[in-house]
Amino acid sequence: MRIIFHIDVNSAFLSWSAIKIMEEGGEDIRLVPSAVGGDRDKRTGIITAKSIPAKKYGITTGEPVSMALRKCPNLILVKGDFAQYKKCSKAFMDICRKYTPTLQVFSIDECFLDMSGTDDIYSDYMALAHKIKDEIKNTLGFTVNVGIGSNKLLAKMASDFEKPDRVHTLFDNEVKQKLWPLPVGDLIFVGKKSAQILTRAGIMTIGDLAQCDLKVVQMLLGEKSGQQAWEYARGIDDSPVTAIHEDPKGYSVSTTLEEDVTTMEQAKGILLALCDSVATRMRADNAKAFCVHVDIRYSKIADINGLTASSRFTNKSHQRSLENATDVTDEIYKTCVELLSEFWHQEPLRLMGVALSNLTKDDYEQFSLFQDESREKSKKMDALTDTLRNKFGTDVIFRGGAANTHHVGMKFKK
């Protein structure tokens, strides 16, 4: 039988911020209502992580800072520090790697360990999980949850059970008891929209989904998504734990806006913040993109020719292929502005996104007889910005045009 561990840092960004604050002589913000993200004075941005005491006030990840402060006026807010997060992530992964060479990084704060076939070394997997968990806590000062299962799906679902600082199992013979009673929306990769479709059809729990006819589920969610959701509800997952790093196929970032955007001036500021973010991440991987995409979503209350946007269309996207691959923020931003002006007619927007695809790590560029001085200045500015952010955190510097949108809540994909 396969033995898979899923190790997930509890409230990672908040815990890692707390570690640094305590190292500098401050209090442990994990013990009081606190959160990472946004700007208290401007009341902008979103909550990206929260403490357990903050959760008791009903504060949720992804909600606007302004709403969180209404729930808890004394909420402590700290800014994100990605240099600190990378440091803590590496330290936690290094401890995990001591126990198996087959480790798959799933995100900055979680990983899978394949412990199959190590019975001669580790005879008691529960004891081993507690050992890893306690070593991380005692050495690094933050806690993790460990889920143990017979595949990656079950191990990940197990690690989401009671938190923090816990070890849970979810094996095949425990699926009906531990997994099936949970709400269908708790199943991994069943998003909010899919959960609403399923519950409207009377499929309320994961057990309901597992016992439903596959064809009915596919009719509700689509053939591929329905098949996956139905198999996951039954605990079926044969995907391997792979320690091989796979280069990303693309980079993207999007933001759901607190207020509708209706002018190009507003849109440009948000586009610049998005381009700055996604280009920075791509440069960190030494990649460049041949294709730039802009995505928008109309506000549900927008009225277009007498029809609401939601009844006519929701999302629109435009893309452009470039002659030379680029990682220069200004070039990506200029392309995005051109794309947006071609297909957006200033209807109210609720979401904006930027994506980069068709990647390369080749430095080849088509030769030009004339050196582009502005491009060289832009590249130097990018290099300086990246250096400062890596050293002092992402909030140390931002581009002037994006000043009013610096704390926009962004969702990243890679």
Highest average pLDDT, of 107-116, 117-126, 196-205, 366-375, comes from: 196-205
pLDDT digits (tens, 9 = 90+) for 195-221: 999 999 999 999 999 999 999 999 999
Residues with catalytic function? 110
List the structure tokens of 39: 């700007």
Q: Is 223 contained in some domain?
A: yes
Q: Is 392 contained in some domain?
A: yes
Q: How confident is the model at residue 193 (pLDDT cuts 50, 70, 90)?
A: confident
Domain boundary at 145, 175, 205, which?
Answer: 175
Residue 1's pLDDT is: 79
Q: How confident is the model at residue 411 (pLDDT cuts 50, 70, 90)?
A: very low
Q: Is 194 contained in some domain?
A: yes
Q: Is 313 contained in some domain?
A: yes
Q: Are residues 154 and 202 in the same domain?
A: no
Q: Are residues 155 and 270 in the same domain?
A: no
Helix (H) or strand (E) holding 308: strand 307-308
- How far apart, in whole angstroms, are the C-alpha atoms of residue 141 and residue 85? 13
DSSP 200-225: HTT--BHHHHHHS-HHHHHHHH-HHH
DSSP 101-132: S-EEEEETTEEEEE-TT-TTT-S-HHHHHHHH
Q: Is 381 contained in some domain?
A: yes
Q: Are residues 391 and 296 in the same domain?
A: yes
- What CATH number should be reported for the domain holding residue 226? 1.10.150.20
List the structure tokens of 393: 């955190």
**Domain of 364, in residue numbers:** 250-413
Q: Are residues 163 and 260 in the same domain?
A: no
Model-wide pTM > 0.75: no
Is 276:399 a contact under the CB 8 Å cutoff? Answer: yes
Q: Are residues 219 and 255 in the same domain?
A: no
- How far apart, in whole angstroms, are the C-alpha atoms of residue 54 and residue 18? 14
Q: Are residues 220 and 274 in the same domain?
A: no
Q: Classify burial at 84, counting beta carbons within 10 Å of its beta carbon; exposed 0-12, middle 13-18, buried 19 or more.
A: middle
Q: Are residues 3 and 52 in the same domain?
A: yes
pLDDT digits (tens, 9 = 90+) for 53-67: 999 999 988 788 888
Q: Please tell me the total count of domains within the chain.
A: 3
Q: Are residues 42 and 152 in the same domain?
A: yes
Using alpha carbons, select from 253, 259, 252 the residue that is nearest to residue 45.
259
Q: Are residues 144 and 213 in the same domain?
A: no
Q: Classify burial at 49, counting beta carbons within 10 Å of its beta carbon; exposed 0-12, middle 13-18, buried 19 or more.
A: buried
Q: Is 241 contained in some domain?
A: no
Residue 75's pLDDT is: 92
Any idea which of 2-16, 58-72, 348-362, 377-391 has the lowest mean pLDDT? 377-391
Q: Is 273 contained in some domain?
A: yes
- What CATH number should be reported for the domain holding residue 110? 3.30.70.270
Q: Is 238 contained in some domain?
A: no
Distances from the Cα of 375 to the Cαs of 63, 263, 325, 370, 408, in angstroms?
A: 38, 28, 13, 12, 27
Q: Are residues 170 and 45 in the same domain?
A: yes
Residue 243's pLDDT is: 75
Q: Is the pLDDT of residue 333 over 80?
A: yes
pLDDT digits (tens, 9 = 90+) for 338-364: 999 999 988 888 889 999 999 988 665
- Better pLDDT: 229 or 116: 229
Q: Are residues 404 and 298 in the same domain?
A: yes
Q: Are residues 214 and 306 in the same domain?
A: no
In the three-class reduction of DSSP (H, G, I as helix; E, B as strand; rest coil), residue 280 is classed as helix
